[in-house]
Structures are given as structure tokens and as C-alpha cells.
Amino acid sequence: MRFLPHFSAALTAVALLSGAAQAADQLPSLKADLSQTTVSGLSSGAFMAVQYQVAHSSTVKGAGIVAGGPYMCAQDNMMYAAACMSPNMFWPIVQTLVDQALENSKKGAIDPVENLSSSRYYLFSGKNDIIVAQQAMNDLKDFYTRLKVPAAQIKYVNHVNAGHAFISPLTGNDCGTNGAPYVNKCHSQGGYYDQPEELLTQLYGALTPASAINGEAKPFDQKIFKGQGLSDTGYVYVPQACAGGATCKIHVVFHGCTQSVENQGIGDVVYNQVGYNRWAETNNIMVLYPQVATGTLGNPMTCWDWFGYTGPEYATLKGSQIAAVNAMVRRLAGQ
């Protein structure tokens, strides 16, 4: 009978997911300045944040990348993903990836790459990350530099003894952990490292102090956006001022592999507990948390598509997931 607690927990999880799906309303159509859109993500979500920002650089003014790598480094091939995460002298060749971005830009498959030089970037690589090596993030910094992003617009944090995770001041595993739910809590400079604060400050400039209350994101129906491999339900946090008609900003957070709400044991850890919402509330930032579905063909670990499982256009404006998230952003902005 030792299985009963696990069975009960599984039933509870199913009930919660079913309730969330039933409660999901349409994504609200509000007011936002699209030129103030930013993105961030962890792991596959970090690679996706890079892809999304490169594809939509005309509207995305900044990206926060936690344990990711350069644009299209997997080269449409899942077998190359491991080389992307632990690169050596042979792979990835950064200039090859820069040339590919330039070619996609020339063809109109992505926005002009010249836009990237006016954006701002927060890069984070934990010293104890054994899943995505620090060299991958070094290569990402090199990628941006070769595309003429000034050094002053890149903040690269690589001194924290963190494992592979979002870093939250509110909750999480011990700092050096490399395991689920991939949210860690780290001491730094006399306190807990507040990654959402550091990230959003780098992308937007000085922030109003965070709300004392960490607000809850609400479910919305993702089905209507028809993104291949996406869950039926996503989540969005809307500050009171934004709900009341103020013109706000939009920040998109891409979860990592096995970090979707559909994954067992994850729940609301990304969309409610990392700590974005408390800064969003006082700075008029709507936070969009799109979700990948479990059990989809070619994607057993609930990853965002950074290696081509949705088709060869996955890293372009026509990519199924990129197009779906952009439609969410535009609807939230009232377009």
C-alpha cells in the first residue's frame, strides 16, 4: 500500500490541472507599448528567448538569458544540442551562427539584425551548472559582440555558485543544485540574489521597489494561438494599473525543459514563485508565461523548440512557437 500517497498526489495534480484548464479565460486585450517588450528564459527557454528576440528584434528591446547559447546553434538537429550545451573547440563555431543570422535577416526570415545592437542583455551562467556549460554563455556573448552589440549593453553574471536554475530570492533548492524544479536560492553580497530584479533592471533601467505581495498569474487559453507543441493553458500576470487601462510593458518568460506546469511536481513554481510578479506589479510590466505541452512527438522533455522538432522554420518569424507567442504578445497589447 506504499503507492497510495503517490497515487493520491497524482490524482491531486490531475485535478489541479483540470481545474486550471476549465478556469482558463481568453488572454485579455489591454494596452502595451510593443517597443518595450522584453524576454527571458532558462535552458531551452533561454535558447527560445534568444531565438524570439533575434526574430522579433524590431519590437523586442532586450533579453535575459539564463543558461542558454547562441542563435540556431543546434542547427536543426537534436543530436547537436549536446554540443551546444557543452561546446568545445570544434562546436559551435560562433561566426557560422552569426553568418546564419545575417543570411536569415537578408532573406527577411527574421527582423534586421542591425536592431540587435540597440538592445540590452542580461546573461547568467552559474559556476556549478553541469547542464549548460559556461562556455555556451561565453559563446552567446561573443555572438552578440560580433553583431556589434556594445559591451556596455551586456551584463554578464558568471560569479554566482549556482546550478542550472532560475535564481529566486523567495524559494528554491540550495544554490548549487542541478535538479527539479530548477529554481534555486543563492546568497550573494550579503543577501539572497534577486535575479528578476537584476534582469529587469538591466533590460528596463532603474525600477520602482518591488511589491511586498507576490501576485498570482492567471491561466488563459493557449489553444486559439495554435502553436505546435504548446499546452492548452498558459499564464499571465497583469498588474492592477495595467488592468485598469494604463499603457504597460510586456515581459515574456520561457520556462526550461521539464518546467512546464504540466510536468509532475512543478505546479506554479515558475509563473508565481520565481519572483517576477512582485517587480512587475510596481513597474507596470505584464508578464506572459507561455507553456509547452508534455508528451508531444519529438519533445519528450517538454522543451521549447530550439533544435527543429516543429519544422525547419522554428527559429524564424514563421516558426510555429515563435509566431504563436508573438500573437499572444500582440493580443495582450491590444492588437
**pLDDT of the residue at 190:** 84
CA angle 64, 163, 216 (to 5 degrees): 55
**pLDDT of the residue at 77:** 85
Contact status, residue 204 vs residue 62, Cβ threshold 8 Å: yes
Residue 160 C-alpha cell reads as: 554566482
| Residue 19 domain flag | no
**pLDDT of the residue at 53:** 98
Taking each helix axis as running N to C, give the angle between helix 134-146 and helix 94-107, from 0 to 180 degrees, rounded to the nearest 10.
Answer: 50
**pLDDT of the residue at 39:** 99
Rounded Cα–Cα distance for residues 115 and 179 (Å): 36
| Residue 159 domain flag | yes
SS3 state of residue 175: coil
| Residue 258 domain flag | yes
pTM: 0.92
Q: How many domains does the chain have?
A: 1
| Residue 75 domain flag | yes
Per-residue model confidence as pLDDT tens for the chain (335 residues): 222 233 233 323 333 333 444 458 999 999 999 999 999 999 999 999 999 999 999 999 999 999 999 999 998 888 888 889 988 766 778 999 999 999 999 999 999 999 999 999 999 999 999 999 999 999 999 999 999 999 999 999 999 999 999 999 999 999 999 999 999 999 988 899 999 999 999 999 999 999 999 999 999 999 999 999 999 999 999 999 999 999 999 999 999 999 999 998 999 999 999 999 999 999 999 999 999 999 887 888 999 999 999 999 999 999 999 999 999 999 999 99
| Residue 289 domain flag | yes
Q: Which of 250, 222, 245, 226 is nearest to 235 (CA)?
A: 222
**pLDDT of the residue at 211:** 96
**pLDDT of the residue at 23:** 57
Sheet containing strand 249-254, strands side by side: 154-157, 120-124, 60-66, 37-42, 249-254, 285-289, 233-237, 218-221
Alpha carbon separation from 109 to 47, 145, 242, 309, 313 (Å, rounded)? 18, 22, 33, 18, 9
**pLDDT of the residue at 12:** 34
| Residue 14 domain flag | no
Give me the active site residues, please.
Answer: 43, 129, 164
- Pairing, β 37-42 against β 60-66: parallel
| Residue 284 domain flag | yes
| Residue 9 domain flag | no
Rounded Cα–Cα distance for residues 289 and 301 (Å): 18
Q: What is the domain range of residue 227?
A: 29-332
